[in-house]
Amino acid sequence: TGALAGKHMLVTAGPTHEPIDPVRYIANRSSGKQGFAIAAAAARMGARVTLVAGPVTLPTPPGVTRVDVESAREMAAAVAAALPADVAVMVAAVADWRVATEAGQKLKKDGSGAVPPLHLTENPDILARLGASPERPRLLVGFAAETENVVTHAKAKLARKGADWIVANDVSGDVMGGHLNAVHIVRAEGVESLPEMPKDAVAAALVERIADALS
């Protein structure tokens, strides 16, 4: 039993790795800590939790079903396969771009000093797809990592991505990889700003609000 008993929560967490060649990739500094803490908090409140995780070095929280992926495209497929869900919380720092053509062999220096061009192409937007999907969860929560104008940018994302809430955080400090986070929960009705606290406490506060919204 628990406030989320009988509910299925889908959580994405961590970075994605976008391959350049068999030994190199493009990535970002997400550690997965915030997303894993949310999955753990939801499982403690009785939810069935599917955690789609990019490449991170964290243990799977008790009671959580984990699906490991590497790239944004793999994450998109794993999210689609995990539906339906009552609520989805998209915490992953999905790479916006990938290398257009992955090299089949390791890129080599040819001695001339020439550098290989990296042509990028856009990745699927997993949150926006879910927002427009016939299988859209009843409650769809996105995150927004910003380095300036945090709440203004988050409000724009709320509309653009078809989410119900956007949890905005300022990642200009050491939020990515760190232990603490300060978030603003942006809804159509208004913005609730929480003080800086451990990511576990951010997770507990958010999951409590999710349980209220679903009840």
181 a catalytic residue:
no
| One of 41, 52, 69, 93 touching ligand PMT (CB under 6 A) | 93
Q: Does 92 bind ligand PMT (CB under 6 A)?
A: yes
CB of 30 to ligand PMT, least distance (A): 4
Q: Does 174 bind ligand PMT (CB under 6 A)?
A: no
Three-class secondary structure assignment of 5-58: CCCEEEEEECECCEEEECCEEECCCCCCHHHHHHHHHHHHCCCEEEEEECCCCC
CB of 196 to ligand PMT, least distance (A): 13
Strand partners, 90: 12, 142
| Contact (Cβ atoms closer than 8 angstroms) between residue 41 and residue 121 | no
> How many whole angstroms separate alpha carbon 196 and alpha carbon 182?
4
Q: Does 127 bind ligand PMT (CB under 6 A)?
A: yes
- Does 125 belong to an annotated binding site? yes
CB of 64 to ligand PMT, least distance (A): 16
| One of 4, 9, 91, 204 touching ligand PMT (CB under 6 A) | 91
The DSSP code sequence of 68-119 is E--SHHHHHHHHHHH---SEEEE--B--SEEESS--SS-----SS-------
Q: Does 186 bind ligand PMT (CB under 6 A)?
A: no
Nearest CB to ligand PMT, comparing residues 8 and 98: 98
Check whether the bond before 84 is cis (ω within 30° of 0).
yes
CB of 168 to ligand PMT, least distance (A): 8
Nearest CB to ligand PMT, comparing residues 107 and 156: 156
Q: Which two tokens stand for residue 161?
A: 């991505």
Q: Does 171 bind ligand PMT (CB under 6 A)?
A: yes
**Which residue numbers are catalytic?**
28
